[in-house]
């Protein structure tokens, strides 16, 4: 390597030499690195091939022709390097041999202000990782590469939710919390290959793109390594600070054909991993459908409370001799689009275990009891018993009916007070203990 070639290659500027056929003859190391291509992939190829025909015809060709005519050209323009567009200062100089312009020497670099703007646009200010916008750009590019490739078809998106960070911020302050967030990102970065990407997606959620994975199960292996590395405790002032995580995984093309679908399904897998308290979880269509059904049902129930669609019905409880010992208050859903009595198929893990929902049902039942037994009335009055007996008579001869419940079961299930019964949110059922009825 001669001295001139050495100087050109150590320069941080992007330096190229283009002949009159608009073909690259010389490119330096900085240019190749920024383009993400080897020297052999650029030399002897045309400017149109490298930058695209549209870019070449609309701007680059005009500037090159001006330079071949003897003019120096200087301008600023945006160029796409890999997945990002950058503002570049570009200078064209005529290159002469024997007083004839045979080539154009092109010098370009990213200005200081433009470089800072690019970082602000595509980097997270706290962690220095790529940000959410970068994820959109890079994932689009990786999907396009996968579509064109004959062999490297698989890509994986991992969503990593860091747990305990809110508690760390509360106990040790946001400065320590930010340091742990940044260091967790670095731990993930060191777990992956140089061809993979790490992002800060939002809040305490990080994301990663795995490129060129051989098979689906590889994503799970990487996720387990990430989990193990993130979980290593941090030592701070003789105290161990533990950060754990949950990871959701979606695969291209198995789980979707576009960026939005893959991101949404990785987020869905993450939510399910949190719910099941699993280290990591690959997206599963059936689990996703259950989650959608669960969310839809919760929304419908909330609206049902607002619109008064739940109705309270009483069912007498009798012993094997046909004597009335109490009543069950059953909540029935008068759904606007389904007939009363419809059996609803609930997701396997569906529970109305939120305190707010439980309280609303509890209040609804209390209000229903008050309507049946107004305040100030005695439960042994002539108003309560006839109403219950009327309900029993509607289902036929009570002395020949069996409800599959013994008196002991009824009394164990019944509530000592007319207005008590905290497990209603689990079984949609209320037991009412009545005093002994007259024979």
Give the distance from CA 427 to its chain's centroid. Answer: 32
The pair of structure tokens assigned to 371 is: 């309507």
Distant-in-sequence, close-in-space partners of 153: CB < 8 Å, separation ≥ 6? 146, 253
pLDDT at residue 438, rounded to an integer: 41
pLDDT at residue 351, rounded to an integer: 57
φ/ψ of residue 192, rounded to 5: -95, 170
8 A C-beta contact, residue 181 and residue 203: no
* 219 class by beta-carbon count within 10 Å (0-12 exposed, 13-18 middle, 19+ buried): buried
Q: How wide is the angle at C-alpha 415 spanned by C-alphas 413 and 418, nearest 5°?
A: 145
Q: How wide is the angle at C-alpha 103 spanned by C-alphas 97 and 105, nearest 5°?
A: 110
CA distance 173 to 233: 17
The pair of structure tokens assigned to 257 is: 């054909």
Short-list 223, 314, 308, 312, CA closest to 270? 223
Strand pairing class (245-252; 280-282) = parallel
pLDDT at residue 238, rounded to an integer: 82
pLDDT at residue 346, rounded to an integer: 58
Q: Return the axis-axis angle of helices 285-307 and 355-372, rounded to nearest 10°.
A: 40
The pair of structure tokens assigned to 133 is: 């916008």
Query: 3-class DSSP state for residue 316?
Result: strand
CA distance 146 to 283: 20
pLDDT at residue 166, rounded to an integer: 87
Instruction: Convert the pLDDT of each residue in 60-98 to its tens digit.
Output: 999 999 999 999 988 877 787 766 667 778 899 999 999
pLDDT at residue 419, rounded to an integer: 28
Q: Is the dihedral of CA 103, 109, 114, 118 positive or negative?
A: positive
The pair of structure tokens assigned to 206 is: 């990080």
Verdict on whether the full-model pTM lies above 0.85: no
8 A C-beta contact, residue 210 and residue 226: no
Report which DSSP code applies to 233: P
Distant-in-sequence, close-in-space partners of 92: CB < 8 Å, separation ≥ 6? 63, 64, 66, 67, 72, 73, 74, 104, 105, 106
DSSP string, 56-97: IIIIIHHHHHHHHTT--EEEEEEEEETTEEEEEEEEEEEEEE
CA distance 171 to 224: 28
* Residues with pLDDT less than 70, the chain: 1-3, 82-85, 110-120, 287-292, 340-439
Short-list 91, 106, 94, 86, CA closest to 27? 106
Give the C-alpha distances (Å, rounded to integers) separating 199 from 83, 135, 139, 181, 304: 14, 7, 11, 12, 41
- Radius of gyration (Cα) for the chain, nearest Å? 35
CA distance 182 to 127: 5
CA distance 75 to 14: 15
Asked, as a colleague might, if the bond just before 253 is cis with ω within 30 of 0, I would say yes
Spell out a b/e string for 53-74, using b for 16 or more CB atoms within 10 Å of the CB, else e.
eebbeeebeebbeebbeeeebe
């Amino acid at each position: 390597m001669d001295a001139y070639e050495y100087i050109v290659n150590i320069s941080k500027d992007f330096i190229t030499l283009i002949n009159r056929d608009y073909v690259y003859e010389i490119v330096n190391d900085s240019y190749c690195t920024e383009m993400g291509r080897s020297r052999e992939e650029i030399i002897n190829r045309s400017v149109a091939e490298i930058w695209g025909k549209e870019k070449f015809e609309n701007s680059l060709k005009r500037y090159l022709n001006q330079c071949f005519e003897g003019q120096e050209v200087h301008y600023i323009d945006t160029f796409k390097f890999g997945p990002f567009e950058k503002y570049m200062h570009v200078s064209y100089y005529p290159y002469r041999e024997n007083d004839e312009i045979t080539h154009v020497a092109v010098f370009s670099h990213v200005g200081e202000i433009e470089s800072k703007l690019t970082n602000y646009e595509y980097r997270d200010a706290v962690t220095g990782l790529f940000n959410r916008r970068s994820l959109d750009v890079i994932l689009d590019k990786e999907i396009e590469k996968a579509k064109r490739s004959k062999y490297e078809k698989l890509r994986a998106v991992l969503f990593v939710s860091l747990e305990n960070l809110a508690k760390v911020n509360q106990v040790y302050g946001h400065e320590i919390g930010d340091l742990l967030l940044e260091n967790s990102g670095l731990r993930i970065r060191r777990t992956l290959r140089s061809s993979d990407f790490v992002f800060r997606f939002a809040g305490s959620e990080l994301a990663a793109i795995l490129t060129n994975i051989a098979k689906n199960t590889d994503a799970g292996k990487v996720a387990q390594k990430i989990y193990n590395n993130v979980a290593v405790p941090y030592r701070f002032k003789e105290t161990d600070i533990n950060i754990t995580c949950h990871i959701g995984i979606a695969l291209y093309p198995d789980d979707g054909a576009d960026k939005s679908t893959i991101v949404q399904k990785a987020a869905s897998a993450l939510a399910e991993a949190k719910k099941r308290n699993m280290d990591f979880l690959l997206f599963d269509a059936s689990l996703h459908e259950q989650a959608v059904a669960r969310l839809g049902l919760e929304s419908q129930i909330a609206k049902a409370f607002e619109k008064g669609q739940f109705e309270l019905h009483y069912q007498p409880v009798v012993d094997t001799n046909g004597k009335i010992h109490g009543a069950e208050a059953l909540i029935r859903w008068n759904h606007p689009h389904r007939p009363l009595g419809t059996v609803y198929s609930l997701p396997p893990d569906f529970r109305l275990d939120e305190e707010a929902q439980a309280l609303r049902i509890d209040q609804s039942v209390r209000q229903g009891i008050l309507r049946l037994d107004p305040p100030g009335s005695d439960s042994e009055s002539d108003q309560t018993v006839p109403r219950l007996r009327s309900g029993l008579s509607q289902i036929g001869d009570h002395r020949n009916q069996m409800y599959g419940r013994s008196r002991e079961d009824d009394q164990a299930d019944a509530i000592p007070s007319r207005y008590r019964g905290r497990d209603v949110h689990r079984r949609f059922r209320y037991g009412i203990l009545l005093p002994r009825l007259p024979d």
